[in-house]
Amino acid sequence: MRQIVVRLLLRQSLVPAAGVSGSGRAFLPCTRLNGALPAQRHFQTCTGAQGTNKKQTQGDMDEEERDEYDQREEARRHALSTDTFFNSKERNKETFEVMLEIFKEDNHNRRGVVEFIYAAMEHMEDYNVSYDLSTYKKMIQLLPEGKYVPENMYQEEFYHYPKQQDCILRLLDRMEGKGVCPDKDMVNILKRIFGPTGHPVRKVWRQLYWFPKFKNANPWPVPFPPINDRFLLAKLAVERIVSVDAQSIVSVWESKSVPDAVDDTFIISGQSPSQKKLLAEHPATKSLYVEGPFPIWVGRACMNYFQLRADGQKFEQPQLDPDDVTNIDNPFVFKKARPLIVKPSVHQQEDGTILAVCATGTSSRDALLSWIRLLEKNGNPDLEHIPVIFSLKAPVGDLARTGDGPLSNDDPERVTDK
């Protein structure tokens, strides 16, 4: 009840000053009520005077200066608005960096800088700067230097200026997800902003330790920043697959070189001399299978490849009884001759023998049929007498057999071009 009465008395004590109306008001300070209420401060606004000075300033301008002033004010309003700031028609790195510079020059107090950085992070993909280290540095440099540096141990551990530190931590997480490695220059920038013990500085030190280790861990390096060239990605994928055999050769063909080919695309094939030998020894009565597509990741892109497979062979290993004392090796007598077993090659697996692999631009049946014909012309003449069955998981697309109904993904198709 006492608090309610105190609030009512406080409201009644605020009386407008005489001779002041509109936005320019002065509130008289209320008196203390038995020591319960503190003295109110004296507030006075002068928006009316500011409007008069602004009108006088614009009245002294000529027409050209007034137009220039209006354009500058409009540009400033758009620059400080995160909703309309990134709506430019030309979306590239230069435009993105110009926007950062406009925000930095027109907003000296850095008001709303955290929200601006978040908005810029959402549009980095549109401007193709998500893999550019210099752009991340310029975004960090939007924060003022020295303002967020902790002054004692308590501020260091209790997350001094948490909103700003969390913003930069998310920016570093974005860099980590994109595979962008920081450098010493970024460390110095963060030190000037958050101090040497700030949480962003600790994180960037951890990134500098681990990133080079993971960057050089891949034995098949891929281009960085990631590329969208399907030809180069397919070539890298086939080179990685056939790297199990050092004698493998990667060939690049075009499907239009095959007569009566429908698709006009590239064909990247990988085959080794040992695979050609296995294909030459394959009996003509047994079929070969073209299987796929199988996914393989090349950096951040997923590519499809196909393989030419034969049925697997059983390699019988001699069964030795460890309890048989007659099999004990005696170094003082001649050893018994053991049956010789030909060691299978790396291409001969239990589930099948891999005879060749390929990747095409369209992954269609016509492109794979052109691949088989090109294999026949380039060192595999026995393919002419061996039936090839296409057992693909990919959708058929525009190609289908007439008269037999729709072709399912699991229905193998036997191709004969004799």
What pLDDT is recorded for position 23?
Answer: 38
What pLDDT is recorded for position 29?
Answer: 39
What pLDDT is recorded for position 315?
Answer: 73
Whether residue 375 contacts residue 269, with contact meaning beta carbons closer than 8 Å, is answered with yes
Handedness of CA 196, 197, 198, 204 (dihedral sign): positive
The continuous run of DSSP H or E covering 359 comes out as: strand 353-360
The continuous run of DSSP H or E covering 113 comes out as: helix 113-122
Cα dihedral value 328, 333, 339, 340, nearest 10: 110
Residue 417 pLDDT > 70, yes or no?
Answer: no
Mean pLDDT, residues 114-127: 92
Q: Report which DSSP code applies to 40.
A: P
Closest CA relative to residue 345, chosen from 244, 239, 269, 249: 244
Q: In what order do the strands lie in the sheet with 249-254?
A: 249-254, 266-271, 353-360, 301-310, 288-298, 388-392, 413-415
Whether residue 107 contacts residue 79, with contact meaning beta carbons closer than 8 Å, is answered with yes
Cα dihedral value 139, 141, 146, 148, nearest 10: 0
Lowest mean pLDDT among 8-22, 81-95, 313-327: 8-22
| CA dist., res. 372 & res. 365, Å (int) | 11
What pLDDT is recorded for position 84?
Answer: 58
Q: What average pLDDT does the structure give for the chain?
A: 78
74: confidence class by pLDDT, cuts 50, 70, 90: low
Whether residue 272 contacts residue 247, with contact meaning beta carbons closer than 8 Å, is answered with yes
What percentage of the chain exceeds 70 in pLDDT? 72
Owner of token pair 């006009």: 264
102: confidence class by pLDDT, cuts 50, 70, 90: confident
